[in-house]
Amino acid sequence: MHTFITSFKRELRRIFREGHERYLVITILGLVFCYVFFLTLMHEGQPERLPIAIVDHDGSYLSRRLCHEVNAMQGVRVVAVYSSHAEAREAMQRQEIYAFLEIPEGTYNELLAFARPHIALYSNNAYLLSGALSYKSLATISKLASGAVQREVLRKKGMTDSQAMGLVQPVELDTHLISNPTANYQPYVLTTMLPGMLGLMVLLLMAYALGVERKERQPGARADRRTAGGNISSETIPWWLGKMAPYTIIYTTLGVLGNIVLFGFCGFEQHGSFLYIALGTLLLVVAMQSMALFLAAIIPEAHMSTTVCALYGTLAFTMAGFSYPVDNMPTFLQGVSQLFPLRHYYLLTSKVSLFGCGIHDIWPHICALFLFQIPGLIGAYKLRTKK
């Protein structure tokens, strides 16, 4: 206990008296910036009023009505009506629009003659989310317009509205979005992305702190110099625990406050206990510290270990599974995803917040986060001061 307290006080003194507080402030401000940036960027839940265009070769009543109906949709906004395909394509290349709807000449006359006119949709999928959402909106309005025309034709033939809709839409879909009725992307993306940014900050700052420690040639407690036969002494682990404890307290507090903002002030869905989410945040911070200690131990150069920590923390966003399902990844990558603490944190928080699961459902992920302390113990053993 004496070793732990000595190391804890020494690290606090280094943070606030030896000029290292600027790195801590930078990481804290960076985390605050991420919260403000993403919460304001996605304040509507998903991108809305995406700029699109119409290429109207027909100029008929139908094409003008279709343009107004497209502009009335919540997801897109018609910013221009072009007279040629080339103009719309150039506007898309200039990133002025994400998609455009092209109505060929004679569409209305072909419709009256039952000749099945074709309407073309073009979307820029280089921007995955905006391109997919704009294409979805245009495809939806095109199908609705086709159904409306069929209904009017059937009405002219003397059918009632119920008979006409039975032919236009034989099967009516009743869609229910479980745990997310408003199709809000924020509870899925930000509850994992922002803690992932927290974990990345922890990795970078701990890699820097450990690099400074090794540079000053003070990587262990004095008792480590009494280590006999190369075995780890009883005071090495308390020393490293004391060194990392200030950062654990700081970043766990920041993580819990961030979750309070997400689930409290922003009103994200939370059907389970917030204590489990707070516990997951603590385990995530400690697991990231452990991985930073391990990577700094096996990579002697400080700049190289910091770079590897940055790559490891960045790759965790992909392997967590909140943007692309891990089950659809190759079998090898499914196994690799288990090596990232953010993956287990994502599973833990999603089960608690969206489905209200208890300890009997999340204990495997808690145990997995505990297992990440093993690399930290290995790193502490390698970084000990030999006799």
Contact 295, 312 (CB under 8 A): yes
**CB 70 within 8 Å of CB 54:** yes
Q: For residue 386, give the DSSP letter.
A: P
Q: How far apart are alpha carbons 257 and 34 in whole angstroms?
A: 14
Query: What is the DSSP code string of 46-64?
Result: S--SEEEEEEESS-SHHHH
pLDDT on residue 236: 66
CB 236 within 8 Å of CB 224: yes
- The three-state secondary structure class of 100 is strand
Compute the chain's Rg from CA coordinates. Answer: 29
pLDDT at 288: 94
- Buried b / exposed e along 353-384 (16+ C-beta atoms within 10 A): bbeebeeebbeebbebbeebbebbbebbeebb
Cα(340)–Cα(214) distance, rounded to whole angstroms? Answer: 26
Distance (Å, whole) CA 161 – CA 150: 11
Interatomic CA distance for residues 12 and 381, integer angstroms: 23
Distance separating alpha carbons of residues 93 and 190, to the nearest angstrom: 30
Say what the pLDDT of residue 286 is.
94
The domain segmentation of the chain, as residue ranges, is 2-43+184-382, 50-168
Those residues whose C-beta lies under 8 Å from the C-beta of residue 121, and which sit 6 or more positions away, are 99, 101, 102, 135, 138, 139, 142
Residue spans of alpha helices (H) in 172-273: 186-215, 236-260
Residue 251 pLDDT: 92
Tens digits of pLDDT across the chain (387 residues): 777 888 888 888 777 766 666 777 878 888 888 888 888 876 666 677 889 998 988 888 777 878 888 888 777 888 988 888 999 999 988 888 998 988 888 887 877 676 777 888 888 887 777 778 888 888 887 777 777 677 767 777 788 877 777 776 777 777 776 666 666 777 778 888 899 999 999 998 888 888 777 776 554 444 444 333 333 344 567 777 788 888 899 999 999 999 999 998 888 888 889 999 999 999 999 999 999 989 988 887 888 888 999 999 999 998 988 878 888 889 999 999 999 999 999 999 989 988 889 999 999 999 999 999 999 888 877 776 443
pLDDT attached to residue 282: 95
Give φ, ψ of 250 to 5 degrees: -65, -50
pTM for the whole thing? 0.74
Neighbours of 155 (CB within 10 A): 13
Query: Can you count the helices (H) and strands (E) in the chain?
Result: 15, 4
Give the right CATH number for 50-168 from 3.90.1200.10, 3.40.1710.10, 1.10.287.610, 3.30.479.30. 3.40.1710.10
Tell which phi-psi region holds residue 127, choosing left (phi > 0), alpha (psi between -120 and 50) or beta: beta
315-348 burial by CB neighbour count: b if 16+ within 10 A, else e?
ebbbbbbbeeebeebeeeeeeebeebbbbbbbbb
